[in-house]
Amino acid sequence: MKLKAIYPGTFDPVTNGHVDIIRRAAKIFPDTIVAVASNKAKRPFLPLETRIQLVEESVADLSGVRVLGFDNLLIDFVLEQNAGIILRGLRAVSDFEYEFQLAGMNRKLSKQIETLFLTPSENFMYISSTLVREIANLNGDISQFVPSCVVRELQKRQDEHGTSSII
């Protein structure tokens, strides 16, 4: 396995916290793949292609970072990409239990894949895609929580729907 890391998520939408993790991962791993999950079980607000595009725009200045969509089991995707590391972000202790279970299950599915946890910078510890969607849905200002391309995309969706609500 190469020193290649995969940072999976739905990124619905990508936040400044996600971008912080990606930037820091790119300094550690020469090949970092941001894996955008289709994850129909979560019923994403933004279509997969839009989420991929927004992540690409958000990290366009980083070398060694690629953004790919996937719709299969994460472990299978990691193996297909010949990667050896899954990166996960931890914002709070409440994230740890779920992430710990995922890491254990992934290890059971493939002993050759390691899971590493990164915490975001303290400025981004409280940001989540869910909270961003809720704020945007109530016509709040999300510009301090997400890249500017996300602000534009969500504003465009509000304009298209002729309402302040996007969801």
pLDDT by residue (tens digit) across 58-106?
A: 999 999 999 999 999 999 999 999 999 999 998 877 778 888 888 989 9
Active site residue 91: yes
Q: Mean pLDDT, the chain, as a whole number?
A: 91
Active site residue 161: no
Q: How far apart are the first and last CA of the chain?
A: 41
Q: Quick one: pLDDT at residue 41?
A: 79
Find the catalytic residue in 18, 51, 58, 133: 18
Q: Quick one: pLDDT at residue 166?
A: 55
Show the 3-state SS of the chain. CCCEEEEEECCCCCCHHHHHHHHHHHHHCCEEEEEEECCHHHCCCCCHHHHHHHHHHHCCCCCCEEEEEECCCHHHHHHHCCCCEEEEECCCHHHHHHHHHHHHHHHHHCCCCEEEEECCCHHHCCCCHHHHHHHHHCCCCCCCCCCHHHHHHHHHHHHHHCCCCCC
18 is in an annotated binding site: yes
Find the catalytic residue in 24, 91, 107, 157: 91
Q: Quick one: pLDDT at residue 160?
A: 80
Q: Quick one: pLDDT at residue 163?
A: 60
What is the model's pTM? Answer: 0.91
- Mean pLDDT for 43-50 is 92
CATH fold of 4-122 reads: Rossmann fold (3.40.50)
- The model's pLDDT over 21-32, given as tens digits with 9 standing for 90+, comes to 999 999 999 999
- Residue 2 pLDDT level (bands cut at 50, 70, 90): low
The one-letter code for the residue type at 138 is: L
Residue spans of the domains in the chain: they are 4-122
Task: Say how far residue 76 (Cα) sits from the centre of its chain.
Answer: 18
